[in-house]
C-alpha cells in the first residue's frame, strides 16, 4: 500500500467496488444522486472523498459538474478509468484542508467518510473547508451512521456486524475519545488475517455545532436519501447545512 494513500491504497482500491457492491447498485445510488442534483440547482458540486466515483459519476450524468478531493491516488485512478471519469476534476489532498479554485453550490461527503477524519479538530476543519468552498446560499451534505452505543452492554467495547465460516467483522468503541475501528478477521488457508481501519464516530448534534462554528445552519435532516423522517431509532442520517445567502 502506498503510504500517501493512507488506508485506501492499491490493495483496497483494487477490490473496493467489489467489496462494496451493494452500495453501487441503483437502489443505493439513484436516490442519493437525485437528491444531490436537486440541491446543486444547476451549479457545481464538490465531493470530499470522491474515491472511485460511486456518486460523482452518476451526478455528472445528471448534468452537475463535479470536482473531487481525495487522498488516494489508487482510488481516483479507478475513477479516471471508468466511462465518464475524465469529466470529474480531481485534486489529491486531505479533504479537511485542501482548497480548490472557485466556489460551489453544493459540497457533499457520503457513506460515513466524515468518520475517516479521526480527530475532532480535523472534522471541525472539514466543516470550515466546506463552508469556504460554498457560494452564499449553498449547502453542505453529510451521510453518516448514528453511533450504535446502545448495542454495548456494560463492560463491552466491541460490536460484531458480520459472522461467517471464513471470517468475522466487528467495530470497537472508545466512549471517552470517540475513537472507533472496524476490524476484519479472515481465515485464509487455516490462518487468520486481521485488518483494522480507524475512525472517529460523531453525533448529529456535534455535527450541528461544527456547522455553526463554520457559519452554517442545519436546514434538513432525514434518515436516508428518500427523505424518511429522522427519529431516535434511525441508524444513519443525511443532513443538510446551509451557508447564509447574505
Return the ∠ at Cα 62 (arms to 96 and 230), rounded to 5°: 60
Report which secondary-structure segment, H or E, holds 236.
strand 236-242
Q: What cell numbers appear for 54 in the block?
A: 460511486
The CB density around residue 121, as the number of other CB atoms within 10 Å, is 9
Cβ proximity of 59 and 38 under 8 Å: no
Task: Kindly state the average pLDDT of the residues 70-85.
Answer: 94
Q: In angstroms, rounded to a whole number, what is the distance separating the alpha carbons of residues 107 and 139?
A: 6
Instruction: State the first-to-last Cα distance of the chain, in angstroms, to the nearest integer.
Output: 46
Percent of the chain whose pLDDT exceeds 70: 91
**How confident is residue 1, by pLDDT bands cut at 50, 70 and 90?**
very low
Three-state secondary-structure class, residue 196: strand
Give whole-number Cα distances, 85 to 43, 50, 58, 65, 89, in Å: 19, 11, 10, 12, 9
Give whole-number Cα distances, 160 to 76, 131, 203, in Å: 31, 36, 21
| Tens-place pLDDT, residues 183-197 | 999 998 889 999 899
Is domain 3-147+202-242 given the CATH code 3.30.70.260 in the classification?
Answer: no
Three-state secondary-structure class, residue 151: helix
**How confident is residue 14, by pLDDT bands cut at 50, 70 and 90?**
low
**Sheet bearing 158-164, strands edge to edge:** 158-164, 167-174, 179-188, 191-200
| pLDDT value, residue 173 | 95
Lowest mean pLDDT among 45-49, 71-75, 218-222: 71-75
Ordered by start, the domain boundaries in the chain are: 3-147+202-242, 149-198
Percent of the chain whose pLDDT exceeds 90: 82
Amino acid at each position: 500500500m502506498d503510504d500517501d494513500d493512507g488506508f485506501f491504497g492499491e490493495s483496497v482500491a483494487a477490490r473496493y467496488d467489489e467489496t462494496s457492491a451493494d452500495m453501487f447498485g441503483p437502489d443505493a445510488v439513484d436516490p442519493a444522486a437525485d437528491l444531490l442534483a436537486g440541491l446543486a440547482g444547476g451549479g457545481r458540486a464538490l465531493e470530499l472523498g470522491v474515491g472511485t466515483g460511486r456518486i460523482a459519476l452518476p451526478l455528472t450524468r445528471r448534468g452537475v459538474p463535479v470536482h473531487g478531493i481525495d487522498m488516494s491516488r489508487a482510488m481516483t485512478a479507478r475513477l479516471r478509468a471508468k466511462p465518464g471519469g475524465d469529466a470529474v476534476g480531481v485534486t489529491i489532498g486531505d479533504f479537511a484542508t485542501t482548497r480548490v479554485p472557485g466556489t460551489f453550490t453544493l459540497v457533499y461527503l457520503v457513506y460515513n467518510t466524515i468518520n475517516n477524519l479521526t480527530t475532532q479538530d480535523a472534522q471541525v476543519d472539514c466543516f470550515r473547508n466546506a463552508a469556504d468552498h460554498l457560494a452564499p446560499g449553498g449547502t453542505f451534505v453529510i451521510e453518516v451512521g448514528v453511533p450504535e452505543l446502545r448495542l454495548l452492554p456494560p463492560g463491552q467495547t466491541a460490536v460484531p456486524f458480520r459472522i461467517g465460516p471464513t471470517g468475522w467483522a466487528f467495530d470497537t468503541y472508545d466512549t471517552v475519545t470517540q475513537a472507533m475501528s472496524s476490524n476484519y478477521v479472515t481465515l485464509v488457508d487455516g490462518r487468520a488475517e486481521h485488518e483494522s481501519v480507524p475512525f472517529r464516530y460523531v453525533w448529529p448534534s456535534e455535527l450541528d455545532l461544527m456547522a455553526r462554528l463554520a457559519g452554517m445552519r442545519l436546514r434538513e435532516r432525514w434518515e436516508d436519501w428518500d427523505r424518511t423522517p429522522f427519529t431516535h431509532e434511525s441508524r444513519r442520517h443525511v443532513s443538510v447545512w446551509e451557508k447564509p445567502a447574505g
